[in-house]
Structure 1
Amino acid sequence: MKRSPLPRSLLVAAALVPLALLLAYVALRAGPLAPVEVTVAEVRTTELTPALFGIGTVEARQRHRIGPTLAGRLASVDVDVGDAVTRGHVVARLDPVDLDDRLRAAASALDRLAAERRQAESRARTARSQARRFEALRERQLVAEDAAQARREEATAADAALAATTAEAARLQAELDALRSQRDNLALVSPIDGLVISRLADSGTTLVAGQAALEVMAADGAWVHARFDQATALGLGRGLPAEITLRSAPGERLPARVARVEPVADAVTEELLAKFAFEPALASPPPIGELAEVTVRLATLPATPVIDNASVFHVAGETGAWRIVDGELAWTPVKLGRADLDGHVQVLEGLSPGDTVVRHAAAPLRAGSAVDVVETLKGRQP
């Protein structure tokens, strides 16, 4: 006896039901209705040690530009970049040109004037003696008044000639001293114990007054000029301890201290500027211009609720955190405080110790979304 065939509608339903179940499973587990995988953390109460991080460069604390006080041509430069110099060390010399000839001429003129001055002194003594003798003779009425008056005028003229010769000698002596000073200034000397960091002219170069031939910095005069974001630089002040890591020595932390916070900030980059001195000063300064990382650790703050920076989200311009309440998401606006360099931030308002908040999410979140709490998101290292 032949079986009656199944209705076509039943066959279609039998084929569609598994497909519908499969689509529903996919939608609920991997589609838009699937729960979002998240990792979570608990709000905890702990002390926080805030720190500031900045980027800077090594600079010379003081640069001494060495050059002539008068125009001249460099005869020699005796040092090069990187050479150590001491205070008074001759680093360069100027060509004297005709200065030596002028010195000899001035000395000769002064010698000649010295002879003239001795002659003037002799004449003055003779004139004064004659004036006194004629005055005595006049008092005894042995000579006329006119003769005595003539001798007095001769004595006065001799004294005037002596004074003029003395003044001229002083002028020539001053001129000779000036030439000798110029001769001494032909030798350019280092004003400090330091290091040559720049050579700006070579032998044969003509320099004008005030133009530098060399730059010297103190051997222990390097510091770091660093920049800090104005939004996170609260608490930066003079005297705070710091650590400096040079680009050439990434694993070495050098102790330092805030030497100065610049009174003028950078309005374009919105950064505060500060200078950091090495403590103790480095015996051998790092290269000027080398990149450096600066860390300033501030005083430890009292215990407050703390979360990770990763738990802070921004939704529609509002800062907050996603709390998990009864397995669902709840958006909670928060007010944040200080942060440290380990990724922790204070929560001043909005969360309480023990609250569970989302750290990372596999997809964008929205209020009421179903979530699946996991230890680690796929493709992310724990």
Structure 2
Amino acid sequence: MNRTETGPARPDLARSARRPAVLFRSVSAAALIVAAVGLAGCKEQTRADAPPPERPVKVATVRYASTAETRDFVGVIRARTESALGFRVAGKLVERPVDVGDRVTAGQVVARLDRTDLALQVRSAEAELDAARSNYTQAKSDEARYASLRSRGFAPVAEYERKKAALDAAASRVEQARQSLDLARNQLAYGDLVADADGVVVSVGAEPGQVVATGQTVVTVARDGPREAEVALPESWLTEARRANAAVRLWADRGDAWPASLRELAPQADPVTRTYAARFTIDAAGADLPALGMTATVTLALPGNGEVARLPLAAVMNDGSGASVFVVDPDTSILHRRKVALRSFTEEVALVEAGLKPGEQVVTLGVHQLRDGVAVRMLKDG
């Protein structure tokens, strides 16, 4: 019987069967690599063709202003003259017909004292004057009699001289009594406190029934006339206040400003605040005067020299060829480097006097990292 023998597969036949699969995988891998390379090239080409992104920058608007240095001080409107009225004699206050805010005229009675004691002093002085006159009459009669006796030789000279001295003393006592009566009458008149000028009552210092001392303030009257703004100046502005141009504005009315002039400056500082009291007279001819006690702002402006634009110091760069700034084109948002002329600068601010136009936008930060022609996106800084 013929038998077909079966044995293991031959190795060369197995390898031949796997070759198509390996070849397919190799081709697929190569295709993927080529596709990846192509995509990468497309992306690089896209990045190269796309415009660079806009860089955000902070900018400030150029504004020119006078270089005159100004400073504001808060003060109070006062009358140029304020009279603190008080009695010239002591006594009990029985009447005060005026109050704060009332208008008074010159000669108007603003307060009265109890006159009982003052009237008694007048009567006492009158009695003393009558006694002095009687004594004078007696002394004069004695002197005339002794003068007659002396002329006839019946009276010694020494006795006549004593009578003559007594007459002189009596005459002096009459004059003294007359002066005492005038003083008592004056004191009686001083029992009425009268205003010495037209004005308005701004404060009172005593009430009816109160016993006041001589000279104690009973009523304070602000006289009609010029108004002044009273402020407190620091030491650094003592010299500048004398040459500065002053203007006064009211907090209640922010509109018009009145020109003013320094009238009074305290010679020494306040021991608590270490400031110097100053009074500026308001030139308000032909205008309504401000009300007393209103809050005012006194602006002192020192004489300046032209106009400058104040920019942050960080906006200015200098690489050896002069100061320059980056200006943003308002139409294209492209940076343009421009040289500028500086008048001066401080630790924070640069004063530009030429090279920029009002309203232009200048980059204020990071200027050393920028270059001419770069597109930016503006972030307003002020």
TM-score, with structure 2 as normaliser: 0.67
Residue type at the aligned position of 1:164: A
Aligned pair in 2 of structure 1 residues 122, 260: CA closer, same or farther (>3 Å)?
Answer: closer
CA contact 2:312–2:350 (8 Å) conserved in 1 = no
Residue type at the aligned position of 1:187: D
How far apart in 2 are the matches of 1:367 and 1:260?
Answer: 52
Match of 1:276 among 277, 280, 290: 280
Please state if 1:55 is matched with 2:73.
yes
How far apart in 2 are the matches of 1:49 and 1:334?
Answer: 13
How far apart in 1 are the matches of 2:82 and 2:163?
Answer: 58
CA contact 1:36–1:369 (8 Å) conserved in 2 = no
Determine the structure 2 residue equivalent to 1:289: 293
User: What residue ranges of structure 2 are gaps of 5+ in the alignment?
Assistant: 1-20, 47-51, 316-321, 328-333
SS in 1 for 2:368: coil
How far apart in 2 are the matches of 1:232 and 1:128?
Answer: 81
Aligned pair in 2 of structure 1 residues 244, 373: CA closer, same or farther (>3 Å)?
Answer: farther
How far apart in 2 are the matches of 1:259 and 1:196?
Answer: 24
CA contact 1:41–1:357 (8 Å) conserved in 2 = yes
Determine the structure 1 residue equivalent to 2:344: 336
Match of 2:174 among 160, 169, 172: 169
CA contact 1:321–1:357 (8 Å) conserved in 2 = no
How far apart in 1 are the matches of 2:227 and 2:194?
Answer: 21
Q: RMSD in angstroms over aligned alpha carbons?
A: 5.1
How far apart in 2 are the matches of 1:268 and 1:369?
Answer: 53
How far apart in 2 are the matches of 1:229 and 1:20?
Answer: 67
Aligned pair in 2 of structure 1 residues 253, 37: CA closer, same or farther (>3 Å)?
Answer: closer
Larger Rg: 2
CA contact 2:340–2:352 (8 Å) conserved in 1 = no
CA contact 2:88–2:190 (8 Å) conserved in 1 = yes
Please state if 1:353 is matched with 2:355.
yes
Residue type at the aligned position of 1:38: V
Determine the structure 2 residue equivalent to 1:212: 217
CA contact 2:79–2:224 (8 Å) conserved in 1 = no
Determine the structure 2 residue equivalent to 1:117: 136
1:29-72 C-alpha deviation (Å, 9 max, x unpaired): 48xxx442535649x8xx94736342332233232111123322
Determine the structure 1 residue equivalent to 2:368: 367
SS in 1 for 2:242: coil
Report the identity percentage: 26
How far apart in 2 are the matches of 1:21 and 1:96?
Answer: 112
Q: For residue 77 of structure 1, report the CA deviation from its aligned partner.
A: 1.2
Match of 2:107 among 88, 103, 107: 88
How far apart in 1 are the matches of 2:206 and 2:339?
Answer: 67
Please state if 1:36 is matched with 2:57.
yes
Match of 1:71 among 66, 90, 101: 90
CA contact 1:38–1:373 (8 Å) conserved in 2 = no
CA contact 1:312–1:321 (8 Å) conserved in 2 = no
SS in 1 for 2:209: coil
SS in 2 for 1:225: strand
Please state if 1:224 is matched with 2:229.
yes
SS in 2 for 1:377: strand
User: In the comparison of the two structures, how many residue pairs are matched?
Assistant: 341
TM-score, with structure 1 as normaliser: 0.67
Q: For residue 11 of structure 1, report the CA deviation from its aligned partner.
A: 10
Determine the structure 1 residue equivalent to 2:201: 196
How far apart in 2 are the matches of 1:283 and 1:322?
Answer: 50
How far apart in 1 are the matches of 2:162 and 2:262?
Answer: 73
Residue type at the aligned position of 2:125: A
Q: For residue 125 of structure 1, report the CA deviation from its aligned partner.
A: 0.8
